Chain A
Amino acid sequence: DSGVTQTPKHLITATGQRVTLRCSPRSGDLSVYWYQQSLDQGLQFLIQYYNGEERAKGNILERFSAQQFPDLHSELNLSSLELGDSALYFCASSAEGYGYTFGSGTRLTVV
């Protein structure tokens, strides 16, 4: 157990739908990062939050949004889902921004 909790582990949904992925960071970590990993692809940075505020943004689609709540957990919202959004979505957390700890991921399948 890495200390970063992601739910759900698996999600199957239809095109056009909206889903919410949840991440609880490791205790004490203020930064949360979201990454997308498609089949045989690397880890694509989506967005970072630090203590409730957006810190950095990557190639995140406009259909995707995220937020970090006062208790530091974060949610990634994916809407108007397309087949190409099927991927593993990872959350990671860090204290000072050096050692990332990843969760086990949410596998999203859009059918």
Chain B
Amino acid sequence: QQQVKQSPQSLIVQKGGISIINCAYENTAFDYFPWYQQFPGKGPALLIAIRPDVSEKKEGRFTISFNKSAKQFSLHIMDSQPGDSATYFCALKEAGTASKLTFGTGTRLQVTL
């Protein structure tokens, strides 16, 4: 059962452009929505995260937009740079004692010059 759907699978953006990655989730109550960035051969690294009581969070060029009623959240990368080329994963944590994260299938971003 896939609890989170991530799109697009891959994305090519020109340098300076805006990269947008979307995730949609299903019914279970979640209380934490992080985004992870993974470079080839490395482990995923936490990029930015949001909780459901906030509709938007910005950290530098990275912004999470959260729509609780639509059960959707997205990552926006402003002024995309070649160094942003990586795979991005959204994730969800269910409210409750279990703290495991469920990850989306990933988006491979390529930023071209």
Contact = CB atoms under 8 A, between A and B. Distances in A.
A58 B100 contact: yes
Interface in A36-61: 41-43, 45, 48, 55-56, 58
Interface residues of A, number: 26
A104 interface: yes
Interface stretch (B13-21, B56-64, B67-75, B102-110): B102-110
Contact of A55 (B46, B98, B103): B98
Interface string B27-70: 00000101010000111111001000000000000000000000
A94 interface: yes
A50 to B, nearest CB: 8
Contacts, number: 61
B103 A101 contact: no
A73 B97 CA distance: 21
A109 to B, nearest CB: 14
Interface of B: 32, 34, 36, 41-46, 49, 89, 93, 97-106
8 contacts: A43-B89, A48-B99, A90-B44, A92-B43, A98-B49, A102-B36, A104-B41, A105-B42
Given A55-B98, A99-B46, A100-B101, 12 more contacts: A33-B100, A43-B89, A45-B100, A45-B103, A48-B99, A55-B100, A90-B43, A98-B32, A99-B49, A100-B34, A100-B36, A104-B43
Closest 9 CB pairs of A and B: A97-B99, A102-B43, A42-B105, A43-B103, A56-B98, A56-B100, A102-B44, A104-B43, A42-B103
